[in-house]
Amino acid sequence: MLKSLTIFIFLLVALNANAQEDAWVYLTDKPNETAALANPTAILTQKAIDRKQNHAIPIDSRDVPVHEPYISILKSQVGITVMAKSKWFNAVHVRGTETDISALLNLTFVDHIDFADNGLDVGSRVGALEDKTNVEDESVVFMYGDTQNQVEMINVDDLHLADFTGEGMTIAVLDAGFPNVNTMTAFQRLRDNGDLLDGYDFVNRTEAVYDNVSSSHGTRVLSTMAAYIQDEFVGTAPDASYYLFITEDANSENPVEESYWVEAAERADSLGVDLINTSLGYTEFDNPNYSYTPADMNGQTAFISKGASIAVEKGLLVVVSAGNSGATAWQTVGAPADSPDVLSVGAVDANGDYVAFSSQGGAAQVGYQKPDVVARGGAAYVVNENNAITQNNGTSLSGPILCGGIASLWQAIPDASPTEVMDLVRQSASQYATPDDFLGYGIPDLALARTLGVEEETFSTFSFYPNPVKDKLKFNAPIDSNNLKIIIYTSLGQEVHTLKLSQGVSNVNVANLSSGIYVMKVSAEHHSKTFKFIKE
């Protein structure tokens, strides 16, 4: 009996030693970095460069691709399969046995390795990840048909009436399969207008995104934004342009899908995409050793969440479905919806009431609100892969419904940065003053967000100098500045000066003020903005 037990233990150890593991291999450098940054058009499209310049986003080492000779060497190592790569993290996702992966540390260009199974890491997963480094169409009046409620709920129909339908905005949809999008009549208008740009299947490494029939999830998601059926169905951004990227393997749940997602986000950035929509979320995997816990949903643990945050740093606006775990033991939002930098969208029904499946905010999101906002995800209308209008449940739908609406909004306020657009969406929402873990800031009013954004631009041309100041504080104000009122307060809130800007008033004498920090409130009708200055 003892001998049999010994043999069993030996076989078990041998099996474990040969078990396939997933890991991220982080590289030390990018030898081609200097040359690439000197010639950015070699690594980014002109649209991407223009977008970064418009939003003052620097082009840096993270825009430089992973050094291909390093990848070739990794592919040649015993037992190693390269699954994906990330220029933002300067990392390569590999698969192999624990022994073979660990042996990669012997390569001089490998900095460290982070196993998907946290128990195999010397350090934690968190500690291992460090940063190395408009043309308007003629007005169209839509008959929304079945989508009327989900469109009107976020007031994007008002934007459409003002000819803001997503024209000139580019959205990358990172999802599962997109069967029949290239043939369905619901997307005929999209194709005829040249707005179905391109696609790639990162799972199967093919451009045949319409042939992947393992899931029709992406087709339905896309329909909420882009589909058009005369008098029956209109998406929230029918005139935006779309890239379709498959990053989800519908046949399994493995952290390599996080790497596929980051790789697709990097490509979206390189192509000059404005928004990313993703109705995917990662919490638990087929291999339980890889699974996250609700406590990991802090925006700093999951690889995909940190990748989503970098996407925002790079100037993209990322809209993520919150998840469908509200009525389960998991309950809280998944990754990457847990990133504080993305706009996470929960779900309500046709009446605007919370639906039980919508994932909630939780204790892991310290200092920030999740979900951010909500839109209709209860019995929302979609067009399925058979070109039939039907209803589905899920934050998978509330996310893209709002994403398309935001594309239409951003077209109306093109000078706003991604973070400014997200802030305007939150500020326009129904419970902005009293957010909670169910609806976040509530249901956005995108027409109101546009108004807030336009009024914000009133102040964008206002400036003052010098700062710090000794005697006279001078103003550069808009041409029509008669409506601007200026009030100066001490840091304790005491009012010390009030004036209205006019042609005869372009400065204020602050020589008599004590040294310190002051707050200046500039008001235009019902809106205002505050600035700070230092009195020497």
Listed ranges 139-153, 387-401, 452-466, 471-485; the one with the highest mean pLDDT: 387-401
Q: How much is the pLDDT for 11? A: 42
Least confident of 155-169, 318-332, 466-480: 466-480
SS (H, E, C) 463-503: EEECCCECCEEEEECCCCCCCEEEEEEECCCCEEEEEECEC
Question: Quick check: is 396 catalytic?
Answer: yes
Q: How much is the pLDDT for 199? A: 96
What is the mean predicted confidence (pLDDT) over 82-97? 96
Question: Quick check: is 217 catalytic?
Answer: yes
Q: How much is the pLDDT for 480? A: 53
Annotated catalytic residue, options 396, 408, 428, 481: 396
Residue 277's CB is within 10 A of a number of other CB atoms, namely: 29
> Is beta strand 484-490 parallel, antiparallel or unpaired with respect to 516-524?
antiparallel
> Is beta strand 373-376 parallel, antiparallel or unpaired with respect to 343-348?
parallel
b/e code 234-264 from CB counts within 10 Å (16+ = b): bbbbbbbbbbbbbbbbbeebbbbbbbbbbbb
d(CA 486, CA 279): 45
pLDDT tier, 83 (very low <50, low <70, confident <90, very high otherwise): very high
d(CA 218, CA 175): 5
d(CA 212, CA 319): 24
State yes or no: pLDDT of 493 exceeds 80. no
**337-347 pLDDT tens trace:** 999 999 999 99
pLDDT tier, 500 (very low <50, low <70, confident <90, very high otherwise): confident
Q: How much is the pLDDT for 26? A: 96
Q: How much is the pLDDT for 6? A: 40
> Is beta strand 233-234 parallel, antiparallel or unpaired with respect to 228-229?
antiparallel
d(CA 489, CA 496): 6
State yes or no: pLDDT of 525 exceeds 70. no
**283-299 pLDDT tens trace:** 999 999 999 999 999 99
Give me the chain's average pLDDT, please. Answer: 89
What is the mean predicted confidence (pLDDT) over 435-453? 93
SS3 132: coil
Q: Which domains does the chain have, with CATH numbers?
A: 18-128 (3.30.70.250), 148-456 (3.40.50.200), 461-535 (2.60.40.10)
Q: Is the dihedral of CA 412, 190, 398, 340 positive or negative?
A: negative
Annotated catalytic residue, options 175, 239, 437, 445: 175
Least confident of 59-68, 182-191, 473-482: 473-482
**203-249 pLDDT tens trace:** 999 999 999 888 999 999 999 999 999 999 999 999 999 999 999 99
**133-175 pLDDT tens trace:** 333 344 557 999 999 999 999 999 999 999 999 999 999 999 9
The proportion of the chain whose per-residue pLDDT surpasses 90, expressed as a percent, equals 74
What is the mean predicted confidence (pLDDT) over 459-470? 82
Q: Are 91 and 85 in contact (CB under 8 A)?
A: yes
Q: How much is the pLDDT for 7? A: 40
Per-residue CA distances from 284 to 19, 292, 297, 334, 395 (Å):
19, 6, 12, 9, 18
Residue among 162, 138, 226 nearest 454 (CA): 162
State yes or no: pLDDT of 15 exceeds 60. no
d(CA 408, CA 446): 9
d(CA 485, CA 525): 9
Q: How much is the pLDDT for 458? A: 58
The proportion of the chain whose per-residue pLDDT surpasses 70, expressed as a percent, equals 88
Residue 64's CB is within 10 A of a number of other CB atoms, namely: 23
pLDDT tier, 474 (very low <50, low <70, confident <90, very high otherwise): confident
Choice between 453 and 285, residue whose per-residue pLDDT is larger:
285
d(CA 34, CA 133): 13
Q: Are 400 and 383 in contact (CB under 8 A)?
A: no
State yes or no: pLDDT of 9 exceeds 50. no
Q: State the burial class of residue 417 (Cβ atoms within 10 Å of its Cβ: 0-12, 13-18, 19+).
A: middle
Q: Is it true that the peptide bond before 466 is cis, omega within 30 degrees of 0?
A: yes
**105-125 pLDDT tens trace:** 999 999 999 999 988 865 433
What is the mean predicted confidence (pLDDT) over 416-432? 94
Annotated catalytic residue, options 67, 93, 160, 217: 217
Choice between 141 and 493, residue whose per-residue pLDDT is larger:
141
Q: Is the dihedral of CA 349, 354, 358, 361 positive or negative?
A: positive
pLDDT tier, 464 (very low <50, low <70, confident <90, very high otherwise): confident
**367-411 pLDDT tens trace:** 999 999 999 999 999 999 999 999 999 999 999 999 999 999 999
SS3 83: strand
Q: How much is the pLDDT for 517? A: 86
pLDDT tier, 504 (very low <50, low <70, confident <90, very high otherwise): low
SS3 316: coil
